[in-house]
Structure 1
Amino acid sequence: MEISLSTDIDSISWEELARLFELAPLGKKRDPEKLEIAFRNSLLKVFAFHDTKLVGAGRALSDGVWRVVIYDVAVLPEYQGKGIGSTIIRHLVQSANVEVVMLYAAPGKEAFYERFGFRKMKTAMAIMPNPEERREKGFIESGPTTRSH
């Protein structure tokens, strides 16, 4: 199977990408307009195609010097297990060319990312909407449900 990578953001169907994230599954359906904004605002992005079919994607935010954070790595279920996700991760890590590469991963996917050298951090924290729901899904640990600024 011939898979090609592209960084050409102008050729992407945002509706198709939103559907890919839904099927991957990477949570509930995403708004295609917001998805486009997120990818356009990301320093690094890559799309995987089988012929002309979009089968995978990933993006990363970076300062271009010290840090990068990888987000939204997704592959259609029927294409998973064929090395496409690995290719996307390797592309983003190599393209980042920074000291520290961080990753935002869905719970249960840690073993996949450990193969690339990723390790769980003890100091990362997040403010998220619906903290109890996020805790139940394994994204965050227990803690206060209110936030103060």
Structure 2
Amino acid sequence: MVVFGIDPGYAIVGWGAISFKSNTYKALGYGSVETQAHTDFNQRLEYIYDELYAILNRCRPDALAIERLYFQTNQKTAIKVAQARGVTLLAAQKLKIPIFEYTPLQVKTAVTGYGKAKKPQVMEMTRRLLKLDEVPKPDDTADALAIAICHAQAAGSDLRQAMFRKGI
């Protein structure tokens, strides 16, 4: 199974593609889509869409896993992140890639076994699970890989399989 993870944003969108086979993870590729701060916001959204569509079209993953938005104290930032997340989801939808959402708590639990793990712990476990020499940079890229790992674990679980069968 090939899973494409996304850490949504509008300045930096982290992405990572992994394969998961026989309980082994392998990083297939990762990086970030970055936009310039003083660029018109609509142009930033277009750039994010175009870049992610091209990457997804090349990768053709079995699933896209993305972090579910949670309430932020800065509502203006939350709205912009939601818009960037929307164009990301549109790119996956246009390519008919199934989309799955996970909360930060679910990602931390899947990667470290502890839902209150700190960011450095999640990043280090992501590095270890993927057998990488160093933690990918920027942090958004490591987060995207962690989200992909979360889906790979959830997709193979008995609970997830039961949910698929029942259409939940």
- Does TM, normalized by the shorter one, top 0.5? no
> As a proportion of its length, which structure holds more helix?
2
Relative to the length of structure 1, the TM-score reads 0.31
Higher relative contact order (CA 8 A, sep 6+): 2
